[in-house]
Amino acid sequence: MLNRRHIRIKVLQILFAYYSDEKPDAAVYEKMLLESINKFRDLYIGLILLLGEMQSLAIDKIEAGTNKKLPSHEDLHPNTKFVTNALLRIIANSKILGKSSSEISLNWKDNKDLLKTLFKVLAESDDYKEYMVSIERGFDHDREYLLRFFRRHLINNELMHDYLEDQGIFWNDDLDLASSMVLRTIKSVKEKDDDIILLPLWKEDDDEEEFCRSLFRQTLAKGADNEKLISENTPNWETDRIAHMDMILLKMALAESQVFESIPVKVTMNEYIELSKYYSTPKSGLFVNGLLDQLIPKLQADGKIKKIGRGLLEE
């Protein structure tokens, strides 16, 4: 499920594109925002399907061995522990994944060379070899190693990162959260299950989707006023000298502080300071922190920031 930090990142990415456009259309960019969230779902499902692709390649390898003109003893008596992994079988036979695979934009079969490379790296790993020779059996054993394979040898592969960057410009930023959702999904499967349950993007009975839309819209709606406020409080800086990313982060932080009454000011400030450290310049964290320290009290004094419940400043 998308958390608020990742929602902020999504909005930031789209706003960066919006403010870089000479003639931006807010409706077009809001549509792009929603599409980027759908693409996140594609990545999440695609990563689960990637495990199924590893099983398919293992099956192909076994079949190729048995079809040799002069098969070896090992070819004729292959180790099938990986291809019969209980969780992999559920993934491979999943009706939910089968339906979803035709609906998503990520298709691993478009890059068979990448799949073969990933499987080769996996098959040559100590973890894989340890699993294959282990005499231990059982659902929990299969799951433990499948989780290990995914964490250590699939999602951290640089070639896969390059491929994802080519397929979706935001997917490398999405990879950590999408991977954590895959791990949660795998951990939730029980031995008696005959299918998997995909996690929803949004929490039930929550306002995360509305938070996403409102943060985008209100940052734009209050953008001119907040830019003026920033300019008035940076007398030694022309606004065009402020890093483009820093300006967007400041606009988002100020809009969020003004619009979302239940989000504590300190939470908003800390979130955007951390984002500035990651997405902007090395000095941006101090700059954004210092400026928000000046601007937030002014907006509070003017009655433009009002907090209720757990969002009270003193909390």
**In this predicted model, what pLDDT tens digit does every residue of 114-130 receive, in sequence order?**
999 999 999 999 999 99
Residues 111 and 227 occupy one common structural domain? no
Residues 228 and 183 occupy one common structural domain? no
Please report whether residue 204 resides in a domain.
no
| Helix, strand, coil % in the chain, rounded to nearest 5 | 70, 0, 30
Q: 């590893």: which residue's tokens?
A: 54
Tell me the pLDDT band of 312, cut-offs 50, 70 and 90.
Answer: low
What pLDDT sits at residue 313? 46
User: Residue type for 180, please?
Assistant: S
Tell me the pLDDT band of 203, cut-offs 50, 70 and 90.
Answer: confident
Residue with the larger pLDDT of the pair 72 and 24: 24
Tell me the pLDDT band of 310, cut-offs 50, 70 and 90.
Answer: low
Q: Is the dihedral of CA 165, 168, 172, 173 positive or negative?
A: positive
Residues 247 and 103 occupy one common structural domain? no
Residues 300 and 164 occupy one common structural domain? no
Distance CA 20, CA 239 (A): 15
Residues 182 and 64 occupy one common structural domain? yes
Residues 173 and 274 occupy one common structural domain? no
Residues 261 and 154 occupy one common structural domain? no
- Percent over 90 (pLDDT), the chain: 75
Residues 19 and 96 occupy one common structural domain? yes
Tens digit of pLDDT for each residue in 134-174?
Answer: 999 999 999 999 999 999 999 999 999 999 988 877 888 89
Tens digit of pLDDT for each residue in 81-110?
Answer: 999 999 999 999 999 999 998 889 888 888
Please report whether residue 216 resides in a domain.
no
What pLDDT sits at residue 259? 95
Please report whether residue 158 resides in a domain.
yes
Q: What is the mean pLDDT of the chain?
A: 91
What pLDDT sits at residue 237? 67
Residues 140 and 254 occupy one common structural domain? no
Residues 160 and 49 occupy one common structural domain? yes
Residues 92 and 240 occupy one common structural domain? no
3-state secondary structure of 137: coil
The total number of structural domains in the chain stands at 2
- Asked if residue 26 lies in contact with residue 221, where contact means CB atoms within 8 angstroms, the answer is no
Its domain, for residue 277, covers 222-311
Please report whether residue 170 resides in a domain.
yes
Please report whether residue 259 resides in a domain.
yes
Please report whether residue 283 resides in a domain.
yes
Please report whether residue 217 resides in a domain.
no
Q: 């031995």: which residue's tokens?
A: 191
CATH of the domain at 252: 1.10.940.10
Please report whether residue 140 resides in a domain.
yes
Helix axes 4-20, 244-259, angle to 10 degrees: 130
Tens digit of pLDDT for each residue in 249-266?
Answer: 999 999 999 999 999 999
Of 138, 166, 188, the residue that ends a domain is 188
Tens digit of pLDDT for each residue in 29-82?
Answer: 999 999 999 899 999 999 999 999 999 999 999 999 988 888 888 888 899 999
